[in-house]
Amino acid sequence: MSTDESNAEVSLLQHLDLRQINCLNEAEHHTLKGIVESKNQNATGAYLLSDADEQLLLNIPFNQSVKVRAISIRSSSPEQAPKSIKILINRPALGFEDVEDADEPTVAQSLELSPEDVQEGKVLALRYVRFQAVNSLHIFVASNQGGGDETRIDAVDIFGTTVETTKSLSGLSKQEE
Amino acid sequence: MPLEATMMIIDNSEYMRNGDYQPTRFDAQADAVNVIFQTKIDSNPENTVGIMSMANKGPEVLVTHSKDLGQVLQAIHATSSKVGGQIEIPTAIAIAQLALKHRENKNLRQRIIVFVGSPLEGAAADEKGMVKLAKKLKKNNIAVDIVCFGDGVEEPGADGKSVLKSFIESVNSGDNSHLLAVPPGPNLLSDALISSPILSADRTSSIPAELGGSGGDAGASGSGGGNQFEFGVDPSLDPELAMALRMSMEEAQAREAREQAGSSSTPQAAASGTSSGSVATVAPAAPVNLIDAEDEELKRALALSKEEDVDMDAQPASEARTAAAGDAAMDEDDDEEAQIARAIEMSMKQNEESSK
């Protein structure tokens, strides 16, 4: 991990592509869209809840390439908070069967969240080198802290930088022949 | 308007040779496939439909996501010579799920429509396994509709449940999955489908709810025929016609209401009797008001002209004359003569002044 983490910690939520965002196994009225719609860390009462079982698959596309440095996941219910998660990048056609048995390096990173991590929504640093050209981020929640059938997430935040693109073409000039 | 990628799984087992549906089970199914395809494609231009068969030598994908009716018809035609074997619902659904997963447009919701015309055997008859499969589909956000007919119509068990029914109940999320059982009879399989909740969302999506566009519940009563509907037409069979009928009725009602309101506000008209008379009375009312308004304006003009007359003495004589002429022109018969008299008087006065 680099030491200059703090200077580039910008929330990437404002670069979300809201139309493409989706989440598998979300409950009908507690969707992922509900907690990221404001493009800020969720402060409303809305939360994301799993439906058939405890697993969730959050598909978070960005409207440009980004570098992801850290994420934070907050859940106000200690029992229903996510525990083991797997993070993948740039896999738009992802299903549960693809990720259930997958391990690093197929997934970009696997994480075990402690109860404190999720309760306060601690910022968790990721392996920066593996998240260099992220067009879409996929977070697979495999289990929750309590082992019950419902997983609840109150807020998600993603930190990083946008990939530098050519901002101005004025520096370019026609080559002399 | 549902934005959907649909995969239809057709039954091509030996049971489909039975002739209890017109003309045969397989052809009735082909007709139903055609209807579903058209409805899905018409409801949204981005929708795609695929088709696969699930008997003979094993489930086989015939057409992946397409908007081309020709391909579907060709696939059905090719399958009609490959009727045989037994159906494998769980395998077929797993394959359909895979086909749906690789759709081009990820914004499309996924739907599988299964035709079952054979009795359930093997893995498909195992309720536990089917419910597990249903949970998996629900988790992956896939809706499933099942159309059972012929031998596919199940006898409910002791608790009133059947395998397919519990399957649909498990996969259902937000009322997006349905089970339709069509027993043999004079009605076409496709007609039963059109009026069913499976297609009602697609058929009525362009029609507002207050004009009968809600679908769903209307479809439940469908296919019974008879004349229990409002206009003698089943609104779910032809939503556009139903909407047109309802709109014209509402317009007529609004017109009647307006006429009644008009006749009650003018009691003389009510006394005249006929309803056609009341329409006529509305028209004269406006001219009367107009005349009032004109009178008002006239009075004001008169008052103005009089004021100017009062002021006139202070004005230079030449201006006064033109003003007086203007006044004369503006005023009407009642005091025209007085005005003329005054004008003459004034011009005389002016003459006197100029002669001095």
pLDDT tens sequence across B106-129: 888 999 999 999 998 888 888 899
Q: Is the Cβ pair B107, A25 closer than 8 Å?
A: no
From B102, B138, B174, residue closest to A52, measured CB to CB? B138
What residue of A is the nearest CA neighbor of B175? A28
Which of B93, B131, B135, B141 is the best substitution to test chain A (most A C-beta atoms within 10 A)? B141
Please report how the helices B275-312 and B239-265 are oriented relative to each other, as an axis angle in degrees rounded to 10. Answer: 60
Task: Give A123 to chain B, closest Cα distance, Å.
Answer: 29
Radius of gyration of chain A (CA): 17
Task: Give B101 to chain A, closest Cα distance, Å.
Answer: 7
Task: Give A143 to chain B, closest Cα distance, Å.
Answer: 15
Structure confidence at residue B207 as a pLDDT band (50, 70, 90): low
Token reading at B281: 């009375």
Residue range A8-165 forms a domain whose CATH class is mainly beta
Token reading at B253: 């009602």
Neighbours of B173 (CB within 10 A): 19
Instruction: Quote the pLDDT of residue B222.
Output: 38
Instruction: Quote the pLDDT of residue A177.
Output: 60
* B133 or B298: which leads in pLDDT: B133
Structure confidence at residue A166 as a pLDDT band (50, 70, 90): low
CA distance B62 to B9: 10
Q: Is the Cβ pair A96, B135 closer than 8 Å?
A: no
Token reading at A176: 């002399």
B93 pLDDT exceeds 90?
Answer: yes
Instruction: Specify whether the CB–CB gap between B130 and B90 falls below 8 A.
Output: yes
Instruction: Quote the pLDDT of residue A43.
Output: 80
Q: B9-13, B148-152, B222-226 — which one is most confidently predicted on average?
A: B9-13
The SS3 call for residue A20 is coil
Going from the C-alpha of A40 to that of each of A21, A31, A120, A158, A159, the distances in angstroms are: 15, 16, 16, 10, 12
CA B278 to chain centre: 35
From A20, A24, A92, residue closest to B140, measured CB to CB? A24
Q: Taking Cα atoms as reference points, which of B113, B74, B84 lies closest to residue B16?
A: B84
What residues of chain A lie within 8 A of the CB of B174, using their CB?
28
Instruction: Quote the pLDDT of residue B321.
Output: 53
Rounded mean pLDDT of A159-175?
71
pLDDT tens digit sequence for B243-294: 888 888 899 999 999 988 877 665 554 444 444 444 444 444 444 555 566 6
* Chain A (48-77) residues lying within 8 Å, Cβ to Cβ, of chain B: 51-53, 55
B212 pLDDT exceeds 70?
Answer: no
Residue ranges of domains in chain A: 8-165
Token reading at B293: 């308004």
Residue A16, beta-bridge partner list: A62
Is the CB of residue A129 less than 8 Å away from at least one CB of chain B? no
Rounded mean pLDDT of A50-71?
91
Instruction: Quote the pLDDT of residue B347.
Output: 83
Instruction: Quote the pLDDT of residue A102.
Output: 83
Helices (H), A23-87: 32-36
* One-letter amino acid of B33: V
Instruction: Quote the pLDDT of residue A20.
Output: 84
Q: Is the Cβ pair A20, B107 closer than 8 Å?
A: yes
CA A14 to chain centre: 13
Structure confidence at residue B224 as a pLDDT band (50, 70, 90): very low
* One-letter amino acid of B120: L
What residues of chain A lie within 8 A of the CB of B140, using their CB?
24-25, 95-96
Structure confidence at residue B213 as a pLDDT band (50, 70, 90): very low
Is the CB of residue A149 less than 8 Å away from at least one CB of chain B? no
Whether omega for the bond prior to residue B183 falls within 30 degrees of 0, making it cis, is: no
* One-letter amino acid of B286: A
B132 pLDDT exceeds 70?
Answer: yes
Q: Is the Cβ pair B141, A25 closer than 8 Å?
A: yes
Range with lowest mean pLDDT among A8-17, B158-167, B246-255, B347-356:
B347-356
Structure confidence at residue B167 as a pLDDT band (50, 70, 90): very high
From B102, B107, B138, residue closest to A51, measured CB to CB? B138
Q: What is the mean pLDDT of chain B?
A: 78
* One-letter amino acid of A102: A
What residues of chain B lie within 8 A of the CB of A25, using their CB?
138-141
* One-letter amino acid of A132: Q
DSSP annotation of A7 reads G
Q: What percentage of chain A reaches a pLDDT higher than 70? A: 88
From B107, B139, B173, residue closest to A96, measured CB to CB? B139
Q: What is the largest CA-CA distance in chain A?
A: 71
Structure confidence at residue A2 as a pLDDT band (50, 70, 90): very low
What residues of chain B lie within 8 A of the CB of A19, using their CB?
107
Q: Is the Cβ pair A28, B173 closer than 8 Å?
A: yes
Structure confidence at residue B168 as a pLDDT band (50, 70, 90): very high
B146 φ, ψ (degrees, to nearest 5): -120, 130
CA distance B265 to B236: 41
Q: Taking Cα atoms as reference points, which of B137, B132, B83 lies closest to residue B113?
A: B137
Range with lowest mean pLDDT among B77-81, B144-148, B272-276:
B272-276
Instruction: Quote the pLDDT of residue A27.
Output: 87
CA distance A37 to B80: 50
From A20, A92, A96, residue closest to B140, measured CB to CB? A96
Going from the C-alpha of A41 to that of each of A155, B182, B231, the distances in angstroms are: 6, 51, 54
Q: What is the mean pLDDT of chain A?
A: 85
* One-letter amino acid of B96: A
* A131 or B331: which leads in pLDDT: A131
